[in-house]
Structure formats: structure tokens, C-alpha cells
Amino acid sequence: MNKENRKISLPNIIWQWEIILLFIFIMVVIINSNLSPYFLDYTNLMNTTFNFIEKAIIALPMMFVIICGDIDISVASIIALSSVFMGMASQAGVNTFGLVAIGLFAGSAAGFLNGFVITKFGIPAIAVTLGSMSLFRGIAYVILGDKAFTKYPIPFAYFGQGYIGNTMIPFELVLFLMLAIIFGIILHRTTIGRKVFAIGNNSTAARFSGIPVNRVRLIIFTVTGLCSGLASILLTSRIGSTRPNIASGWELEIITTVVLGGVAITGGKGNIFGVVISIFIIGFLKFGMGLINIPGKVMTIIIGLLLILAIMLPQLIERLKPKNSFGKVKK
């Protein structure tokens, strides 16, 4: 099938996952605004982003990880670890700038450790990050025990609670959008991005064509750690307190977002727009359900159903797709 043909023919555009996601997003907005008068409110919509932007910031590098055919389930534990280190530093009187540096460094170091073990010893990412997930959170529990760090400098609160100037736009949101553009350009417009797709499609072939597969994977895991450190700064700043159970369960929510965004869990396929739309679908869906006071347990069920649907739909679409002469009818 030649490229030009594929772009122009309407059925293919409609069947693209991003378009379907966009449609789901519009449906979520319409249904929510029908159910509650408070949904379509500028201030409310801006403020609700606080609740999912930290996860969204990790979803960006997680997309790279999954496209490479890997996975990282230690991200929430990295948040806890970074937060604990920032808390310790803050008790010792370190200023805001120092805390940010410590948070980013702790995250990167944890991510590098993951990447190093995975690439150096050739152990599957799921096994390594399963271990480091317990390891990092374990360290947080050992250091904090049953205590909490609650003393942070006042300027530190800006990162997770601040707005841009006098607008109602959260600083976190702007930071995320900038990162999304950067990650999008890297993935879709640079050779690095093409290498990532090549690794995900066939890492052996990628290696034979001269791509430093392990180095790319090491960098991606380190960046994932870095972004987890950044998310940790934002979350710690937002709630102004560090407990060892901070951000528990987030790794699954982040992976859910990425998979719903159309990134193939088997690797090699994904699009930044899909992931960004998916972030807002889940965020706004949860907000809308909160507005009509649906209990959290029911929300979990609905998000779970959405994910199963997201994994099944591409398969169904593949079957329903109008077949052309070179149509891919596989599996």
C-alpha cells in the first residue's frame, strides 16, 4: 500500500486510533457536561489537571519505553524515593533550588540503575523493574518508618500549586505541554525517534543496522527516572508532605494511559497525539465521575473496562477495515 494513497483515503483516516480517541474524548466531554453543570467551567477544568499531570509527565517517557518493547513498573517507587531524599534534604535546611536538583538527580540515578542492570546483564525489563519497585519503596519505608516529612520551604510550593502569572493556568500543565512537544518532536521528527521504533519492531535487525540498541535503552530508562523525579518534585510540592506510601499504584495508571493512547504493548508502534489525548480522556473522565460523586471503586471498574476496550478495539478494527488488495490480514 503506498503512503500517499493511505493518507488520502477517508476510511483509513477514520479508523486511525488517534481519531477514535479524539471521538471518545469529545464523548467524555459531552456526557460529563450533560451530567454536571460544573464540568464545562474554565477554572474547574484547569484545577482538575493538578490531579493527573504528574502521571502524565511520566507517561511521556513511558511511551518510549513501551515502544522499545520494554516496560518500567518502578516509576511510582522512584517518586517515593526522590520525595524521601528531598524531604531529608529539606529537614537539613536545603533551599528550593537544591531540593529540585536532588529530586531530579535521585530520579535519574534510580532510572540509570534500572537501565544499567537491564542492558548490561540482558535481564528483561519487567523482572528488573519489578525488583527495583520493591527496592526503592522499601528504602523509602526504611528511612521514613512511620514518620512523615512535612517541612518544605515556602517557594517550593510553587511547582505543584502555582499558576502562571495571574491566569488560572497551572504551572504543572504548561510544563507538561512543553515536555509533550519536546518528546513528540524527538519521537516523530528525529533519528533518535526512528531508532526507538526500529528497536521496538526488531531489536536484532536494529542492532545489525548499526543502532546502539543498549545505549538508546539505557538513555530512555534514565530519562524515565528523570521524569519520575520531576513528577516527584511536583507531587511533593503539591501536597507538601512525604509519606512512604506516596503515589502508590501510579505505575499501573500510567501504563494504562499509555496503552489506551494506542502504544502497542508489544512495542514498535505509538503516537504522541494518542497518548496526550488519552491522558485527558482518563483525567476528565475521573473528574466528571467525581463531580456526580461516583465512588472511587466504581471509577476503577470503568477505567478498567475502558482499557480492555482499548486493547480489543484495534484487533476488531483490523477485522472490520475495508480490505484493499494489499490489506494486512494477519494474526
Nearer to another protein, 157 or 306 (CB): 157
Among 5, 9, 51, 266, binds another protein (CB under 8 A): 51
CA distance 276 to 233: 21
- Return the half-sphere exposure (C-beta side, CA atoms, 13 A cut-off) of residue 239: 15
Size of the site for another protein (CB under 8 A): 43
Quick one: 161 exposed, middle or buried, by C-beta within 10 A (0-12, 13-18, 19+)? middle
With binding defined as CB under 8 A, does residue 40 bind another protein?
yes
CA distance 171 to 180: 14
Look at the chain and count its residues.
331
Q: How far is CA 127 from the centre of its chain?
A: 20
With binding defined as CB under 8 A, does residue 22 bind another protein?
no
Q: Give me the amino acid identity at 313.
A: L
Q: Please, what's the b/e burial string for 273-304 (b: 16 or more CB within 10 A of its CB; e: otherwise)?
A: bbbbbbbbbbbbbbbbbebeeeeeeeeeeebe
CA distance 92 to 250: 29
Nearer to another protein, 48 or 114 (CB): 48
With binding defined as CB under 8 A, does residue 41 bind another protein?
yes
With binding defined as CB under 8 A, does residue 325 bind another protein?
no
**x/- track of binding to another protein for residues 102-121 (CB under 8 A):** --------------------
Nearer to another protein, 3 or 297 (CB): 297
Q: Footprint of another protein on residues 161-190 (CB under 8 A)? A: 161
With binding defined as CB under 8 A, does residue 301 bind another protein?
no
Cβ of residue 55: shortest distance to another protein, in angstroms?
A: 11
Cβ of residue 162: shortest distance to another protein, in angstroms?
A: 11
Binding site for another protein (CB under 8 A): 10, 26, 30, 33-34, 36-38, 40-41, 43-44, 47-48, 50-51, 145-148, 150, 157, 161, 235, 238-241, 243, 245-249, 286-287, 290-291, 293, 295-297, 300
